[in-house]
Amino acid sequence: MRHEPLPDSPAGTRERLIGAMLEALGTRGFHGVGISELLSRAQAPKGVLYHHFPGGKAELAVAAIDTVVGHLTHNLEGLFSRHGDPVQALTLWMQDAQTTLVGSGCQRGCPLATIALESTAEDTAIREAVARGFAAIRGTLTGALVASGIDAPLAGRLASLIVSAYEGGLIQARVAGSGGPLQDTATTLLDTLRALIPQGRP
């Protein structure tokens, strides 16, 4: 049985800080939230941020990015393992994204897209973390598409297309205040994938 840290333990404080940063990245972005607000959201005392993250806010953001990427790839792998049809798995993935977006009043998108769009040339560590994250997600998608019978080079290109469509659909839906753009993107993307996956595969 997995042991959960007590709320006041150092591990619990670290996780709350990461959670606070994740919430900020998904709604306001890295530069849109200050350290005081992060500490308040995490219910953490002053000074504790640098105890867990000596590099400060940027190091916390990298930890949050790595965390969300871990969740995304884990969820994708679970969907692909439970559903023999990769299109069905991706349909559920897209539906979950739309449910989350609409449930937040179209305020909560993917933290990776938010931080990628606002990052500057000086945000080297953050950009590297986001790039690693996108690469990990593409890798998971590529593996699933290859397993479905698609040639590896095409599977890699399709994985890039899926990530671009997913992120672009979320961005359009957020600014439109409606899940419609994401739904339209998902429908077209999934129809395209369905036509490309070999029928009668093992």
Sign of CA dihedral 182, 183, 185, 191: positive
In this predicted structure, the answer to whether residue 75 has a pLDDT above a threshold of 90 is yes
pLDDT top residue among 199 and 97? 97
DSSP 8-state symbol, 6: P
Which alpha helices (DSSP H) does the chain contain, by range? Answer: 10-27, 35-42, 48-52, 57-82, 86-103, 111-118, 124-147, 152-176, 180-196
- To the question of domain 65-196 being in CATH 3.90.79.10, the answer is no
Closest CA to 110 of 180, 150, 185, 168: 168
What is the rounded distance in angstroms from the CA atom of residue 89 to the CA atom of residue 125?
32
Closest CA to 170 of 86, 100, 74, 92: 100
Confidence of residue 199 (pLDDT cuts 50, 70, 90): low
The pTM score is 0.85
- pLDDT tens-digit series, residues 41-70: 898 887 889 999 999 999 999 999 999 999
Confidence of residue 6 (pLDDT cuts 50, 70, 90): very low
What is the rounded distance in angstroms from the CA atom of residue 92 to the CA atom of residue 85?
11
- pLDDT tens-digit series, residues 114-145: 888 888 888 899 999 999 999 999 999 999 99
Closest CA to 164 of 191, 195, 196, 186: 186
**pLDDT value of residue 157:** 96
